[in-house]
Amino acid sequence: MLLPNGIRHLPGYLDRPAQEALVEAIRAVVAEAPLFTPVMPGTGKEMSVRMTNCGSLGWVTDKQHGYRYQPTHPVTGRPWPAMPAQLLDLWRDIAGYETPPEACLVNFYSDDARMGLHQDRDEQDLKAPVLSISLGNTCLFRVGGLNRNDRTLSFKLSSGDIVILGGEGRLCFHGVERIYPATSTLLKNGGRINLTLRRVQP
Ligand code: SIN
Ligand code: FE2
């Protein structure tokens, strides 16, 4: 399968122990910064994923103020927890970008959640890639081009897979069409976690 330029899929990059260690680290993040339900700007419609963040900045959205990065959790008002060392190491090993990521968006998908086609364009620094890590149940990931109506292709992402959206592919539309229940034993209660590491400021 030929992916658009700048988009890389690294299947099975993380072995099982590395996946388990990441889940532990994310549990600690969620204990400090609880998952919240994001809503679309304008319409106020709830998204089906739940989210939190770690790092110095976190991505949030609400009806009034829309998509943005901010240094504090929208519900607790506290700073986001620090980014776990494993994530900084992964970025150093594969992002090919000198400065470290500032934000890690944690998306939790129940088995019936999905994410519509969108671009990641709320970052000021669009030269840095977005590095995405899949944990738990397999999903069907869809990627298109730079215009919403461009042809898309879909492929599965399994636990431990990494996707990099960089270079010419940095602003490609992408989304999650569906989660396949019971395809991984990593998360006891099913579902899928996606982590995306982002550099926000130049
Ligand atoms: C996202 O685009 O923020 C999430 C992608 C994914 O869940 O794989
Ligand atoms: Fe995205």
Amino acid 1: pLDDT: 75
Is the pLDDT at 36 greater than 80? The verdict is: yes
Q: What is the mean pLDDT of residues 11-17?
A: 98
Please give the biggest Cα pair distance in the chain. 44
Atom 7 of ligand 1: nearest residue by CA position = 194
Residue 52: which pLDDT band, with cuts at 50, 70 and 90?
A: very high
Tokens matching residue 31: 């204990």
User: Which of 44, 70, 180 has its CA nearest to residue 122?
Assistant: 70
Would you say 65 is a known binding-site residue? no
Would you say 59 is a known binding-site residue? yes
Whether the CB-CB separation of 52 and 35 falls below 8 Å is answered with yes
113 lines ligand 1 (CB under 6 A): no
Amino acid 37: pLDDT: 97
The domains located in the chain, with CATH, are: 7-198 (2.60.120.590)
Amino acid 177: pLDDT: 98
Residue 2: which pLDDT band, with cuts at 50, 70 and 90?
A: confident
Would you say 194 is a known binding-site residue? yes
137 lines ligand 1 (CB under 6 A): no
Residue 185: which pLDDT band, with cuts at 50, 70 and 90?
A: very high
Closest atom of ligand 1 to CA, residue 192? 7
Atom 3 of ligand 1: nearest residue by CA position = 196
Atom 4 of ligand 1: nearest residue by CA position = 194
**Dihedral, 61, 67, 73, 77 alpha carbons, nearest 10:** -90
Residue 199: which pLDDT band, with cuts at 50, 70 and 90?
A: very high
Would you say 120 is a known binding-site residue? yes
How many angstroms separate the alpha carbon of residue 105 from the centre of ligand 2?
A: 10
Stronger pLDDT, 16 or 4, i.e. the higher one: 16
Give the pLDDT confidence of 133-175 residue by residue, as tens digits: 999 999 999 999 999 999 999 999 999 999 999 999 999 999 9
Closest atom of ligand 1 to CA, residue 109? 7
Give the pLDDT confidence of 95-142 residue by residue, as tens digits: 999 999 999 999 999 999 999 999 999 999 999 999 999 999 999 999
Amino acid 62: pLDDT: 92
Q: To the nearest whole number, what is the mean pLDDT of the chain?
A: 97
Q: Which of 194, 195, 197 is the best mutation target for the ligand 1 pocket, counting ligand atoms within 8 Å of the beta carbon and taking the most? A: 194
Is the pLDDT at 63 greater than 80? The verdict is: yes
115 lines ligand 1 (CB under 6 A): yes
Closest atom of ligand 1 to CA, residue 196? 3
Give the pLDDT confidence of 76-93 residue by residue, as tens digits: 999 999 999 999 999 999
Would you say 137 is a known binding-site residue? no
Q: Following DSSP, what letter does each residue of 80-107 receive, concatenated? A: PPPPPHHHHHHHHHHT--SSPPSEEEEE
